[in-house]
Each structure stands twice: as structure tokens, then as C-alpha cells.
Amino acid sequence: MARDGCSTGETAAAGPWWRFPPLRNALLAGLLALGAYAGGRAGLIPESLEMAAYWLAIPLGAWYWAREGLEDLFRERAVGIEILMGAATLGAGILGLWEEAAALVVLYAFAEGVEELTFARTRRAIRALLDLAPKTAHRLVDGGKTVTVPADTIQPGDRFVVRPGESVPTDGVILEGESSLDESPVTGESLPVDKGPGDKVFAASINGQGVLTVEATAGFADNTLARIIHLVEEAQEQKGRAQLWMERFGRRYSPAVLASALAMLLLPWLLGLDTVWWSERAVVLLVAAAPCALVISLPIAMSAGIAGAGRRGILIKGGAHLEHLGQVRTIAFDKTGTLTYGRPRVTDVSAVEGDEAALLAIAAGLEQYSEHPLARAIRQRAEEQGIPPRGMRDVQALTGAGIQGREGDTVWYLGKPDLFESLGLDLSPWTEIIRRRQEEAKTVVLVGNRQRIIGILALQDVLRENAPQVIAGLHALGIRTVMLTGDNEATARRIARQLGIDDVRAGLRPEDKVAAVEALGREGPVLMVGDGVNDAPALAAATCGVAMGAAGTDAAIEAADIALMADDLAKLLEAMRLGRKARRVSLQNIVFSIAVLMVLIPAGVGGFISVTFAVLVHEASELLAVANGLRARRAED
């Protein structure tokens, strides 16, 4: 039973099902066998022609699966399900049951063909993402002209133009132009993202209204989309513990079934019993006990789940990690950049002298050339309100305290309250507002000179808007949530209350986070969520590590067990639902398959069912397992 690849190629899987070679052979063999059966019963053809049709249908239908079974037998010394079915076919033929032998071969060929086609189309669905990337690119050449070239000829450092409505040919950085881009093929995020000079763009993103000039940072074969496809394909080949256990079970179970059938053939002959009756029972046993549906139960659900996640911008690196998503009962979150945006924003502007515009103009002037996160937040607030920065000279950073700059004869300062106390200013009129902002877990900076305070700014790392809904959704799944942060206890608990998080571990250094994750892991499987490689030690210590916003970050994609390509916390909830769905579907398949075996085996050995009936039930159960496994592609709300 093919699991690790489609030997007949994915290109054949793209057309109608009857052109897929295993199914085409099964169809032709079925028509031959059906024609022979109908013609023989109606007396339209002689018995010799009927037998000849069966003898032709059997090798035609068995060509693909029998060849695979023999390869496993001689190369790996493994008795697989194909050998059981081949032995059953041979036994039925020896007993003269050619109709039953042909039915067995044809139905098994159909079931195997459907299963192999399903795997091939699942893989092709992922590779089809590459088709979203354009086949040509408008490369810039000397003189500012553009030349249309094949997209796969673009190399790092090349510059190309992306016009409105076109797709980006490969990863790059915007040099000129502004536009909104649909990045759903890479991140799974359905809403367009506004981008401008300095921002990264990904292959297959669809450009909105603006013309962009982009410098390539990766070739066509090495861009983010190609890496995602490659990693998903690798993940589909990696197996979880349950799947590996099932395969080990199959390697022992199939030889045991074959040995039991041989015993049913030999013992009656030695004991002088009815050898024909027992021979028929042996053939029925080979069919009834073949664990096709059981063996396919996990691979089909795991492969479908990984592929479905990949198309949503959720990169799951193997079946083991998809299993973990279905088992996890505790999720540990890093705070900064995960539950929050990791970018402070100005939340409060309080002018105590003059107006807010003057206050922001002076603050933006002092921070005009600083790359500190607080400085960027202050400049952004001024830009949003259309306030130009005031011109400052002799700007100088005051390490650990703030910044100063000169405007005319006045030296302006921006910094912590302690800075202004050291300048000899009385802060008592503003003590209450400073205390209140700090209790709200905000960073407070003052603006003024040596004579007076002109205003107070409060900044805060803003919570993600959907974080409370995601935490509530996780609680609805019965998952305990824990926040691990280096912030102080009061700030951490305030944020935890806002989000509804169950537990808080605050004031943690990186090594403390690792210890906290290991302690949680002793209570059961734990999943750690962080914003990339910054939390790598804690991600590695968890049962499963999830990196957020991994698109464009090679290290994060490679390091995490699961990478959420979009910087969207809701993707975590979607991943958890996919994991639960895959686990539930797998268990349904396993229980169903075992139930079928428990009914078929005693009924077959006891003589209550025929070879044909055993074949019909056996193959129907395999097809049902495949159909049910495909449900793992979609997460349920």
C-alpha cells in the first residue's frame, strides 16, 4: 500500500480519475471481469472464453499493487497486505473460484487506486501553490527600461517591477512605491497588507493598486513559497508515534495472518478433515483479516491535516507535531510580540503647558533620528496627526534616562521622571497622573526644559485585538493558558486579567522560561508560542514549539515545530482545531477498522461469509477510511 509517494506521478493525478494508471487498470480489469461474468451467466460466451477473460483481468488489475508487494517482500523482507491479497487470489484460483479471484483483484485495485490518487492529489494541492507565482517578471535593466524574462531567471540583487494586479515573482524588498498586497498564498491572511519602501514582499503575493520597484532577495526556487511547499512535502513523509506504532504492528500482524492461513490449509490435511472447506476458509481469512483500513487510518488523516494547514499559512513540520496539537492541554505564551504587537504606541498625550501639537512637535524633534522603539512610537503619533517635528541641534542621548536637544537658546529634555527630578524640578503637581499611568502598565516620559514641564506622554505595548477571543476559544477547547514574561508581576497580572489567561509566571529570564516550560511539561504535553527565534530555548523545551509571524524569517521557519506564517494569533486557534480534528478522525478510523476486523475474521473462519462478501466489506471499509480521513483537511469552528 503506497504511503511515501506516488509511483505513477502527480501529473497523472491532475486529470480525470479514470486516467490515473492504477485506476485505469482497475477499470479495464473490472469491465473484463464483469463482461465475462454476465456473458457466462447468460450463455453468450463459452466457458473457455469466460475463464480467459478472468485470467486476463487478474494480472491487469493486480499489476500495480502486486508489484509493490513483491518489492517490499524481496527488498525489505516484509510481508505486507499486498502479499496477503495475492495469496488470497492464488488460493481462490487453485480452488477454481475464478469469479471470486477476479472480484478480489478488481475491488482491491480500485481501493488502492483511490487511496493512491488521494495521496497524490493531496500533495499536488500543495504544489499547486507554486502556480500562483507568475511565470514571467519585468526585470529592470540599464536606463530604467524593463525586460520581460522568465521568473525562474531572477536572482538575488536583480530589480523588477510589479504592476497593479500582478503577482510578485519572488521574495524581495520594496525600493520604490506603495501598495496593498494580498499575501494569502504565503501567510493565509485574507486581508491585504499595506507596504512601502523597505518592506518585504513574498512570492505569489498579489499587488493591489500601486506600481512597485522591488529588489529580489531570493531566487525562484528558494523563495518563501517554495520553501513552504518543500517543508510541507517533507512533513507529510514524517510520521508520528502512533503512525510508527501502527506500521510496526502491521509488520508483525500480516505475517501472523499468513501463517494462520497456512495452518488452516495444512492441519486439516494432516488431520484428515475436509480440506476444500478449510481451504476456502483460509482464503476468506486472508481477505477478511487484511488490515488495509487500519493501516491507512492515520496516514490519510495526517497527510490531509498537514496539507490543509499548509494552505492556510500554518506550517506543521511533521505528523508527530500534528499529533501533539491534538493532545496538548496547556499552552504557554511569551508576552511581548506574541500576545502584544511588540511595538509600543503612544496611548496618552497630556499637555500641562501649551497644546498637544506643540508637545508632540518638540518630542518628535528630539526623537527624529533615534531608532529606539519608544522614539519610533512618538514619531508615528506625530505623523498620524500631521505634526512636523521641531528642528533640534546638538541632540544627545542620556543613557538610561532620556534624550536632550537644543532649539535656539532652549535645551529640551525627554525622559523618565527621574531625569527631571535630577534637574531640580518639582514633579508633585503631576505625581498622581504619573502614578495612574504606571499602574496601567504604561511607560511614562516627560517633556520639558530646566524651568518647567510642558507635557507627559504614556506609551504601551498594545495587546493584539483578537487575543481575548483567541484565549476564550482555547478555553472552550479545554486548554489551560499560561503567560511567561520578563515583565514585573503587577504588569503581567494586569495583562493576564485583560486577556483571561489562567496563570502568570513573571520576571523570568530566558533560562527561567525554559525551566517553567519543563515544569509544565511534567504535568502533560505543553505547547509554547513565541515570536520567532528569540524564544528558541523555550520553544525547544516544549512538547511542541510554535513561532508566530515566521514569513520571511528563515531561522524561525527552520527552528519551529510549527510556524504560523502570518503575524496573526488567530492562526494558533485554527491550528489547534485542525490538530483536534485530525486526532478525532484518526481515532474514528481506527475504531471503525478494528470493529470491521473483529466482525469479519470470526465470520470468515466460521464459514458464515463467502470470499466475495469478505472482499466487498473489506474494500468498502478501506474506501470509507480514506473518505473520512480527508475530513481532516478542514478545521471546524
Cα–Cα distance list, 569 to 62, 272, 517, 547 (Å): 49, 72, 20, 10
pLDDT at 142: 81
Q: Are 146 and 139 in contact (CB under 8 A)?
A: yes
Q: Which pLDDT value is given to residue 485?
A: 83
User: How far is it, in rounded angstroms, from Cα 362 to Cα 368?
Assistant: 10
pLDDT for res 82: 78
Catalytic hit among 72, 158, 334, 461? 334
pLDDT band at 6 (very low <50, low <70, confident <90, very high): very low
What is the DSSP track for 572-611? HHHHHHHHHHHHHHHHHHHHHHHHHHHHHHHHHHTT-S-H
Asked if the model's pLDDT at residue 5 lies above 50, the reply is no
Please tell me the distance from the alpha carbon of residue 493 to that of residue 193, in angstroms, as a whole number. Answer: 32
Q: What integer pLDDT is reported at residue 611 of this predicted model?
A: 81
Cell reading at 37: 461474468
What pLDDT score was predicted for residue 239? 59
Instruction: Quickly state the pLDDT bin for 378 (edges 50, 70, 90).
Output: very high
CB 137 within 8 A of CB 23: no
Q: Give the pLDDT band (50/70/90) at residue 349.
A: very high
| pLDDT computed for residue 4 by the predictor | 43
244: Cα within 13 Å, side-chain hemisphere: 9
For a pLDDT cut of 90, what percent of the chain falls above it?
Answer: 24
Residue-level pLDDT at 38: 86
186-190, 401-405, 486-490, 528-532: least confidently modelled range: 186-190
Supply the pLDDT for residue 240. Answer: 58
Which distant-in-sequence residues (6+ apart) come within 8 Å of 554 by Cβ? Answer: 227
Task: Report the residue count for the chain.
Answer: 637
pLDDT at 3: 45
Query: CA-CA distance, 293 to 288, in Å (whole number)?
Result: 11
* Most confident option among 163-167, 491-495, 633-637: 163-167
143-199 pLDDT, tens digit each: 778 899 998 899 999 999 999 888 899 999 999 998 888 887 666 565 678 888 988
Query: How is residue 416 annotated by DSSP?
Result: -
Positive/negative CA dihedral, 344, 348, 353, 357? positive
Q: How confident is the model at residue 7 (pLDDT cuts 50, 70, 90)?
A: very low
Mean pLDDT of 290-317: 80
Predicted pLDDT at 382: 94
Rounded mean pLDDT, 14-41? 80
pLDDT of residue 125: 58
Of the chain, the percentage scoring pLDDT greater than 70 comes to: 88
**d(C-alpha 238, C-alpha 26), whole Å:** 30
Q: Quick one: pLDDT band at residue 282, thresholds 50, 70, 90?
A: confident
Q: Is 338 a residue whose pLDDT tops 80?
A: yes
The predicted pLDDT at position 98 comes to: 81
Segment 229-246 shows an average pLDDT of 64
Which tens digits make up the pLDDT trace of 102-138? 877 887 787 777 777 776 766 665 566 666 678 899 9
Query: Rounded to whole angstroms, how far apart are CA atoms 508 and 486?
Result: 4
Residue 304 has a pLDDT of: 83
**Per-residue pLDDT tens digits for 471-488:** 999 999 999 999 998 777
Averaged pLDDT of the chain:
82
Contact 356, 455 (CB under 8 A): yes
pLDDT at 81 over 80: no
Q: Nearest CA to 171 among 182, 148, 184, 155?
A: 155
Confidence at 234, pLDDT banded by 50, 70, 90: low
* Overall average pLDDT of the 287-297 stretch: 78
- Residue 406: pLDDT over 90: yes
Q: Is 199 a catalytic residue?
A: no
Q: What residues have CB less than 8 Å from 533, skipping those under 6 apart? A: 547, 553, 555, 556, 559
Domains of the chain, first to last: 134-222 (2.70.150.10), 309-340+464-577 (3.40.50.1000), 342-462 (3.40.1110.10)
